[in-house]
Amino acid sequence: MDKDGYPEESDLKLIREWDYIDPRGLVEYLQSVWWAPDYIVIKRGRKRFFQTWIMRIFISTVGWSGNEDIIEALKFNFFYNFYWIRSEIGGHYTFEIPIKTWNESGAGLKF
């Protein structure tokens, strides 16, 4: 992240190339480079029809162009394809990750 809070190209490259089988580590990394990280909310819940446990990740860009750049980089990662549930006007994104996958990943931040 630069002095103004914008992600560096190296941050965006790391997000694009992050191993999608480590969703927890990726979300932790997103929080570390996100302007206003309180707008990345993680909640445990159940999937409505299947009653399986999941982690729901709610991300809001807060209109910050640096955060929007991060989302654009994330769209090039399989994480987005596997776990994306919904996008809403205003830069709001929801992801759902099976709890087993969440618990087995996240060995820590990868810098």
Q: Do the domain assignments include residue 110?
A: no
Tens of pLDDT, residue by residue over 61-89, are 999 999 999 999 999 999 999 999 999 99
For position 52, what pLDDT does the model report? 87
CB contact at 8 A, 69 and 63:
no
- Residues 26/17, Cβ–Cβ less than 8 Å: no
**Per the domain annotation, does 2 fall within a domain?**
no
Q: Residue 70: which H helix or E strand, with range?
A: helix 65-74
**Number of separate domains in the chain:** 1
Q: List phi, psi (to 5°) of 85.
A: -115, -45
Q: Is residue 109 part of a domain?
A: no
Contact assessment for residue 71 and residue 93, using Cβ atoms and an 8 Å cutoff:
yes
Structure tokens at 1: 């992240």
Domain boundaries, position 36: 9-104
pLDDT of residue 107: 53
CA distance 30 to 23: 10
97 part of a folded domain = yes
Summarize pLDDT for 87-110 with one digit per residue, the tens: 999 999 999 999 999 998 865 444
Q: Give me the residue label for tokens 């618990």.
A: 103
- 32 belongs to a structural domain: yes
Report the candidate in 45, 10, 15, 11 with the shortest Cα–Cα distance to residue 27. Answer: 15
